[in-house]
């Protein structure tokens, strides 16, 4: 019988633990600052959720809502100000940024020690070198979810669909570190369905609503769905056809309530890590 990888439940448990850890810290609480540029509705909702959860675990938070017309230089100036401010432990620059801003340059301006998203090349390099750094939140949350349910990665065939800087690439490195044999599927992959069908652990991070159907899933596979989309009907869905795939696999993440809450949980864990290890 298929079992659900319940991100709501696991993140709640981990956040309770984190709350206790924060409660035991001496001195001021950890502080997270969130920069949000423009009025992207999804970003507004995501940031609101992150700030709510900060309150729950006892992390101080501040949002910087900036107008869409904010120039790249103004943004770089704010990042530098937060870099210099010792009372700020973590800074999150909510993506996407407006087109006139070079996201890469802004992310690179952030002090790596405060990069709680783990997107700075320094932190991505640390991950590649298998050294301690700040790890991107969605990949980290997925690994925490598998660990919670004692799902073994070592020796397994892992297929990650998508190779973004935020999810696919760092996640493939984490699976590799955990002893998986990792294949990344992308737009140029020949016969992607056949490659997916080999996977013991299949991760859909392609950003295409319900692209992954049962024909791409091996019987008994573990299926992780990173996508979240709103269909014209108003219903939320992921990159996986949940109803059709669920009977083919051993474990599956729902959407919503799977990977999403784990991402937020990892952000809070990274913020506490940044607070405790003031590096660079
Ligand atoms: N936009 C969508 N997901 C994310 C995320 O994990 N971090 C940031 N900064 N922006 C996002």
Domain with CATH 3.40.50.720 in the chain: 137-260
pLDDT at 278: 79
What pLDDT, on the 0 to 100 scale, is given for residue 1? 82
pLDDT at residue 215, as a whole number: 97
Select from 1.20.1250.20, 3.40.50.2000, 3.40.50.12160, 3.40.50.720 the CATH code of 137-260: 3.40.50.720
Pocket probe mutation, ligand 1, options 61, 166, 229, max atoms within 8 Å of Cβ: 166
Instruction: Give the integer Cα–Cα distance in Å for 249 and 226.
Output: 16
**Residue located nearest, by CA, to atom 7 of ligand 1:** 94
Residue 115 near ligand 1, beta carbon < 6 Å: no
User: What pLDDT, on a 0 to 100 scale, did the predictor assign at position 106?
Assistant: 98
Quick one: pLDDT at residue 279?
61
CA 178 to centroid of ligand 1, rounded, Å: 24
pLDDT of residue 280: 52
Enumerate residue ranges in the chain where pLDDT < 70. 279-280
- Regarding the beta carbon of 93 and ligand 1, being less than 6 Å apart is answered yes
Residues of the chain with CATH 3.40.50.10860: 29-111
Catalytic center residues: 50, 94, 117
Q: If you count DSSP H runs as helices and E runs as strands, how many of each does the chain have, helices first?
A: 10, 11
pLDDT the model gives residue 272: 98
CA dist., res. 257 & res. 111, Å (int) = 32
228 lines ligand 1 (CB under 6 A): no
Whether ligand 1 lies within 6 angstroms of the CB of 92 is answered as yes
Task: Ligand 1, residue 267: give the atom nearest the CA.
Answer: 6
Q: What is the DSSP string of 9-26?
A: HHHHHHHHHHHHHHHH--
Q: Whose CA is nearest to atom 2 of ligand 1?
A: 95
Smallest Cα–Cα separation from 79: which of 137, 33, 133?
33
Measured at the alpha carbon of residue 19, what is the angle toward residues 125 and 124, in degrees to the nearest 5?
5
pLDDT for the residue 128: 97
128 lines ligand 1 (CB under 6 A): no
Distance of CA 98 to the CA centre of its chain: 21
Q: Any idea which architecture 29-111 has in CATH?
A: 3-Layer(aba) Sandwich (3.40)
**Cα(266) to centroid of ligand 1, in Å?**
12
Predicted local distance difference test score (pLDDT) of residue 125: 97
Any atom of ligand 1 within 6 Å of the Cβ of 217: no
Pairing of strands 221-225, 181-185: unpaired
| Residue 262, both tokens | 């784990």
Residue of the CA atom closest to atom 8 of ligand 1 = 94
């Amino acid at each position: 019988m298929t079992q659900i990888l319940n991100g709501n439940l696991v993140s709640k448990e981990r956040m309770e633990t984190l709350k206790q850890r924060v409660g035991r810290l001496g001195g001021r609480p950890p502080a997270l600052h969130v920069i949000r540029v423009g009025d992207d509705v999804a970003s507004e909702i995501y940031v609101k959720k992150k700030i709510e959860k900060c309150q729950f675990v006892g992390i101080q938070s501040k949002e910087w809502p900036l107008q869409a017309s904010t120039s790249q230089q103004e943004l770089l100036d704010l990042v530098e100000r937060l870099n210099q401010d010792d009372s700020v432990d973590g800074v999150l620059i909510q993506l996407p940024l407006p087109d006139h801003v070079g996201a890469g340059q802004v992310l690179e301006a952030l002090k790596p020690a405060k990069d709680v998203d783990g997107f700075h090349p320094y932190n991505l390099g640390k991950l590649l070198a298998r050294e301690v750094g700040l790890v991107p939140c969605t990949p980290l949350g997925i690994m925490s979810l598998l660990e919670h349910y004692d799902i073994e990665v070592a020796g397994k065939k892992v297929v990650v669909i998508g190779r973004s800087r935020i999810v696919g690439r760092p996640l493939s490195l984490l699976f590799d570190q955990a002893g998986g044999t990792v294949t990344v599927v992308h737009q140029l992959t020949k016969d992607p369905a056949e490659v997916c069908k080999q996977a013991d652990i299949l991760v859909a991070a392609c950003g295409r609503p319900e692209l992954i159907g049962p024909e791409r899933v091996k019987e008994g596979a573990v299926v992780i769905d990173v996508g979240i989309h709103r269909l014209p009907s108003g219903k939320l869905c992921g990159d996986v056809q949940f109803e059709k795939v669920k009977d083919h696999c051993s474990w599956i993440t729902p959407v919503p309530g799977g990977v999403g809450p784990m991402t937020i949980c990892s952000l809070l864990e990274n913020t506490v890590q940044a607070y405790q290890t003031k590096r660079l």
